[in-house]
A and B are shown apart, each in its own frame.
Chain A
Amino acid sequence: MGGSSPCASCKLLRRRCTKDCIFAPYFPPDDPHKFAMVHKVFGASNVSKMLQELPIHQRGDAVSSLVYEANARMRDPVYGCVGAISFLQNEVSQLQMQLAVAQAEILCIQMQQEPALPTQMDPPPANEKSFLFSSSNLNNLHQYLSFASSSNVIQDPLKIESLWT
């Protein structure tokens, strides 16, 4: 019976990997870079303390977020994750502004259509909402929704990495 390979942390720290090693479940030997990053930013001792203070079922997520933060800090030693937060907050503000403009445009269109032209096809609406969202309008709206979703949607320049396995 051969011994199992030491985890990435114990390999880096050059120590024996015990069977109750706190790092072993989260830092497998096939990905040494993951622990190296976390160790460089937080330190093995601090990571060990942090994990020990958490219930077992939360440690996986904690490790994932620590790896994410360490990676962000190594890519941007000055701002780390705060740089990403700042960028994303800016994105949210811009989108909210665009949304406000688009909603104002809808209101203008609705106001222009407000004196409803008599048509032979549709009966007069009971109220404004039912006119806008009547079943015939919704059926026609589908084709426009599929067109709009494939274009004019702002692409997030930050590739959203999968944090959680």
Chain B
Amino acid sequence: MACTRCAACKYLRRKCPSDCIFSPYFPANNPQRFASVHRIYGASNIGKMLQQLHVHLRAEAADTLHYEAQCRIQDPVYGCVRIITQLHQQIHNAQSQLAKTQAEIVFFTAQAHEELQEAASTFNTLLPQQSDFGQSFYGSSTPPFY
């Protein structure tokens, strides 16, 4: 029974050993995946990077290497760094907007508080004297209105 070579070994035109470091992450049915990482990093560098990692981390590493390689192929000048720059800009804009909105909240809350105090003091001046009113109903007890 013929064993299928992994995409890496097919690309590199070599025999695919049983312990091939690439084969779990670059299956034969997706040749483009290895082609793109090879174009950016080179097979030797990919192999070294994967070998330096624990086996359970290699799949994630292969995925992220593929992602970055794709970004670099699509944008040869900035690669995935363009995305990072855009995200920093988005964060900056969102922070500015949030600060502005929070300032507005403080402002309108303070304004509402001032208006309430004004209304309360206006209301209090319209009330009859506490001593006159209180005396007739409550004597010398606590005023009925705060």
Q: Which A residues are closer than 8 A to B by beta carbons?
A: 40-43, 45-46, 50, 53-54, 58, 61-62, 65-66, 68-69, 73, 77-85, 88-89, 91-92, 95-96, 98-99, 102-103, 105-106, 109-110, 112-113, 117, 119, 137, 140-141, 144-145, 147-149, 152-154, 156, 160, 163
The interface residues of chain A lying within 8 Å CB-to-CB of B55 are none
| CB <8 Å contact, A85 and B87 | yes
Which residues of chain B (61-111) have a CB below 8 Å from chain A? 61, 64-65, 67-68, 72, 76-85, 87-88, 90-91, 94-95, 97-111
Bound form: Cα–Cα A60–B112 in Å:
55
Q: Is B49 an interface residue (CB 8 A)?
A: yes
Chain A residues positioned under 8 Å from B106 (CB to CB):
144, 147-148
**Taking beta carbons and an 8 Å cutoff, which residues of B are in contact with A?**
39-42, 44-45, 49, 52-53, 57, 60-61, 64-65, 67-68, 72, 76-85, 87-88, 90-91, 94-95, 97-112, 115, 118-119
Are the CB atoms of B79 and A69 closer together than 8 Å? yes
Residues of B within 8 A of A147 (CB): 103, 106
Are A66 and B79 closer than 8 Å at their CB atoms?
Answer: yes
- Chain B residues positioned under 8 Å from A156 (CB to CB): 88, 91
Task: Tell me the minimal C-beta distance from A113 to chain B in angstroms.
Answer: 6
14 A-B residue pairs with CB within 8 Å: A42-B45, A65-B77, A77-B49, A77-B52, A77-B53, A81-B68, A88-B88, A106-B101, A137-B111, A141-B104, A144-B110, A147-B103, A149-B99, A153-B99
- The docked-state distance in angstroms from the alpha carbon of A72 to that of B80 is 11
Whether B95 and A95, one on each chain, are in contact in the complex, defined by CB atoms closer than 8 angstroms, is yes
Residues on B with beta carbons closer than 8 Å to the beta carbon of A92: 87, 90-91, 94
12 further interface pairs, Cβ-Cβ under 8 Å (given A45-B42, A148-B100): A42-B40, A43-B45, A54-B76, A62-B77, A81-B79, A82-B80, A95-B91, A106-B108, A109-B109, A137-B111, A145-B103, A153-B99
Contact A148-B102, Cβ < 8 Å, known A77-B61, A80-B64, A85-B87: yes
Residue of B with least CB distance to A43: B42
**B65–A80 touching, CB < 8 Å:** yes
A73: B residues at CB distance < 8 A: 49, 68
Complex contacts, B88 vs chain A, CB 8 Å: 88, 156, 160
